Amino acid sequence: MTTNSKEDSLIPIYSVKTGKVELVEKIKKTDEEWKKILSKESYNVARHQGTELAFTGKYHDCHEDGIYECICCGTDLFDSNTKFDSGTGWPSFWQPIADENIKEHKDRNYGMIRTESLCARCDAHLGHVFDDGPKPTGLRYCMNSASLKLVKR
């Protein structure tokens, strides 16, 4: 039996502010609702798996200290301390804030098999994760600036 209680829509998300994993409500909006609150570019990238052109995003060459949040829902995604210059033209990180905050999905578009990174709370498309990153994880989370918002420390 399927129920639609509020408890069914609670998911674990790590909060930098509290330093704990908390149960929060999954965010679901219609396309029209997302269009009203996002810029055209952020809407196309985050809600329709778009990709901004390399070297055009506002965070690809950003060196400011802070936390990168989901542009759609504000979930903490990446710490600037894990950001590195991958030379790809997109902001790259070697690990997320917490595994709970990112979910992965096999992306078979464009004749390739890649691992798509999504916000666990609102399903926003963030970018892709590759296994060619630096130590200590060996991962490269290649993200779109249009899916992120930097909150400076």
* pLDDT at residue number 6: 58
Which among 38, 102, 120, 142 is annotated as catalytic? Answer: 142
Q: Write down the pTM of the prediction.
A: 0.92
Give the fold, CATH level 3, of 27-152. 2.170.150
Residue 70, annotated as binding a ligand: yes
Taking alpha carbons only, the member of 67, 59, 49 closest to residue 116 is: 49
Q: What is the average per-residue pLDDT within 22-31?
A: 97
Q: What is the average per-residue pLDDT within 18-44?
A: 98
Can 72 be counted among the known catalytic residues?
no
Residue 62, annotated as binding a ligand: no
Residue 119, annotated as binding a ligand: yes
